[in-house]
Amino acid sequence: MSTTHSGKGSDLERRLALLWIGHTPGQRGPNAQLTVDAIVRAAIRVADANGLETLSMQRVAAELGYSTMSIYNHVPSKDLLLELMADAAAGEPPPSEDTQDWKGAVLRWAGHLWATFQLHPWILRIPLDHAPIGPNQLTWLDRLLRHLLVGGLAGSEAMAAGLHLISAVRGAAQVSADLTGGHRTEEPPGQAARLLAELIDPRRFPVLAAVNAAASSHEENGTDGGHDLPADLTFGIGRFLDGIEVWAGSPKR
């Protein structure tokens, strides 16, 4: 067995190759009509339109007008297809700014990431089996780190802060996606909140009950445009950056 790719080859090797190089087109056989790129784009189309749960290999194949198994000639598994989709949907990050206003830059970066999640909510539901290693995702990270270094952090600190920020945006986006996508124009949206409010026994959740009551009194959420960060997230990131500023400015470290 000549094993042009060493049998299964390293999982990771194959993965990285597909993520970074696309598919090295075979020299010998007939020219492939199907390409990795076309498959990924079709899959993204399906996910955007009908959600991740309806995405299946056969659905993707149908979208392209090919048989199910043809897909596997270009993409070895559904898991990897999802990974490719996530990286492709992330796309190019916003252009990096050369500014001293690093806090503003980070906030804008977060706004763009937020917008991406609004555009492709299914990204949040892809089970991630390892740290993201796609080219686009790494580019996003690179841009973010740049601003954090301007802010005065050391390398490892910047990395920690970067992952922290990504988590915060992801988490907020997930909550947002769950709320907006949860009910399909069924009951009045207040229903859920009201039901839950009954369950929050002030004796059992003294703090939560108080906070909840205070919050629901002046509930005006604005028609979240989609591109701007919600106030909650802006607050969280803002405080985080404040803390970083203090840290970077302190002499002791």
Asked if residue 99 binds DNA (CB under 7 A), the reply is: no
Q: Report phi then psi at 193, rounded to 5.
A: -60, -40
Question: Any idea of the CA torsion for 40, 46, 49, 55, to the nearest 10 degrees?
Answer: -120
Q: How many residues bind DNA (CB under 7 A)?
A: 29
* DSSP reduced 3-state for 61: helix
Calculate the CA 94 to chain-centre distance. Answer: 15
Residue of 44, 47, 55, 144 interacting with DNA (CB under 7 A) = 55
Q: Are 226 and 115 in contact (CB under 8 A)?
A: yes
* 167 contact, one of DNA, a second copy, none, CB 5-8 Å limit per kind: a second copy
**CA Rg value for the chain:** 22
d(CA 117, CA 207): 31
Q: Is 28 in the site for DNA (CB under 7 A)?
A: yes
Which residues 33-62 are close enough to bind a second copy by CB under 8 A? none
101 binds DNA (CB under 7 A): no
> From a second copy, DNA, none, which one binds at residue 74 (CB under 5 to 8 Å depending on kind)?
DNA
Q: Taking CB under 7 A as the criterion, which residues in 57-86 touch DNA?
A: 57-59, 66-70, 72-74, 77-79
Q: Residue 146: name its binding partner from DNA, a second copy, none (Cβ under 5 to 8 Å by kind).
A: a second copy
By CB under 8 A, tell whether 161 contacts a second copy.
yes
Residues in the chain: 253
CB atoms within 10 A of CB 113: 21
Residue ranges in contact with DNA by CB under 7 A: 2, 4, 25-34, 54-59, 66-70, 72-74, 77-79
